[in-house]
Structure 1
Amino acid sequence: MIGRLTGSILEKNPPQIVLDVGGVGYEVDVPMSTFYNLPPGKDKVTLLTHFAVREDGHFLYGFLSEAERFAFRQLLKISGIGARTALSVLSGLSVGDLAAAVAQQEIGRLIKVPGIGKKTAERLLLELKGKLADAGGVSLAATVDDSKSDILNALLALGYNDKEATSALKQLPAEIGTSDGIRQALKLLSKV
């Protein structure tokens, strides 16, 4: 319904901001990752939004990146996860960290997020498996540069699982090219 807003920031009261769009002030809840990256003062900003209608009201959630909005929407699809919990997860972990935690099934990273217990973390890992790694270019690969994205996709296509591919990717130099990266990753994986 409301997919994007561009306007000036009138107020900042974490985790909510008031965005002036053509004289109308929209109250928008944002994760802390977005909040900290907002421009200073009353500068113009564009937020991608998620509009939710519930019995108790209409709510707008804003994000600076498509990756954050996508992750938020994936979190909302999980039974027992509401908007507040989804914002809390995205405030405690970047999208890349969340995708890495899911790919590597690291429950410890999720438990550190306020409001996430062991059972909720287990449900998140189960329900999000494979969903952050492949939809519409918004993935763990979206958080690394293009060559690392290509290397990750090549390893996955060769039959390695997310955990193995991500582990090999972490061991590669930051500025490596795609073909050299694939060769080195395969060498690393053959030693395991």
Structure 2
Amino acid sequence: MIGRLRGILVEKQAPEILIECNGIGYEVTLPMTSFYHLPQLEQETIIYTHFVVREDAQLLYGFANPTERKLFRLLIKVNGVGPKLALAILSNMSAGQFVHCVNLDDVATIVKIPGVGKKTAERLLIEMRDRLKDWGNDIATPMTDTISVDNQAEEAKFVIASSNKDDAITALVSLGYKPAQADKAVKAVYKQDLSSEELIRDALKSMV
């Protein structure tokens, strides 16, 4: 089991990164809530990981902290919820925000996440309620909390602005949104000076 990686951030193309550890490059897929906290390229970072082995692939999922990873591991234990859907959930809200939804039995917010229908949302709330009851108040932050992207402020923008738009749309599609839905959401929040990460963040916020 690969539980943590510490190395240099070589590439990042949401929601995937390449992190080099002792000469080995690991491809890792992150939820956007963790992706926003990444440092600039060529800087050292620590990623908490969950390793998935399938017949046709070996996949690494990464998280900014152990709490996000813990929730991911609980989510994939729910019937009908795989890694891709768990990733989509954690891309739309932080672990604390999800716990807040569970505590409020907030089906309306959960069903806005791509791939989550009403029955799946209801099952999530029922099963996760018991699994999260011992987590305490340290994770249950209000839904009004926002994810900080201040560490991205100094990162260089792409020379071609339309590239940022395309990258944002591609990232949303990889998270489960339909191409037309992703295109519409990104265009609605598009500003030329926004990075692809900022476009993804704003597009996700507009849909949930």
Q: What TM-score results when the alignment is normalised by the length of structure 2? A: 0.65
Task: Note the aligned Cα RMSD (angstroms).
Answer: 1.3
Determine which of 129, 136, 139 is the counterpart of 1:142.
Answer: 139
- The aligned runs of 1:108-147 (5 Å cut-off) are 108-135=108-135, 140-142=137-139
Structure 1 gaps of 5+ residues are 145-192
Secondary structure of the residue that 2:131 maps to in structure 1?
coil
Decide whether the 8 Å contact of 1:103 with 1:130 is kept in 2.
no
Decide whether the 8 Å contact of 1:132 with 1:140 is kept in 2.
no
Q: Which residue of 1 aligns with 2:39?
A: 39
Structure 2 gaps of 5+ residues are 142-208
Shift of 1:117: 1.3
Q: Which amino acid aligns with 2:107?
A: I
Q: Which residue of 2 aligns with 1:3?
A: 3
Secondary structure of the residue that 1:119 maps to in structure 2?
helix
Q: Which amino acid aligns with 2:89?
A: V
> In 2, distance between residues paired with 1:140 and 1:84?
27
Q: What TM-score results when the alignment is normalised by the length of structure 1? A: 0.70
Decide whether the 8 Å contact of 1:95 with 1:140 is kept in 2.
no
Instruction: Work out which structure has the larger RCO, using CA pairs closer than 8 Å and 6 or more positions apart in sequence.
Output: 2
> How many residues were matched structurally?
141
- Indicate the larger mover: 73-82 or 108-117: 108-117
Percent identity of paired positions between Structure 1 and Structure 2: 44
Decide whether the 8 Å contact of 2:99 with 2:139 is kept in 1.
no
Shift of 1:73: 0.2
| CA deviations over 1:64-107 (Å, ceiling 9, x no partner) | 11110000000010111110000000001111110011111110
> In 1, distance between residues paired with 2:95 and 2:115?
18
Q: Which residue of 2 aligns with 1:86?
A: 86
Q: Which amino acid aligns with 1:41?
A: L
> In 2, distance between residues paired with 1:32 and 1:69?
13
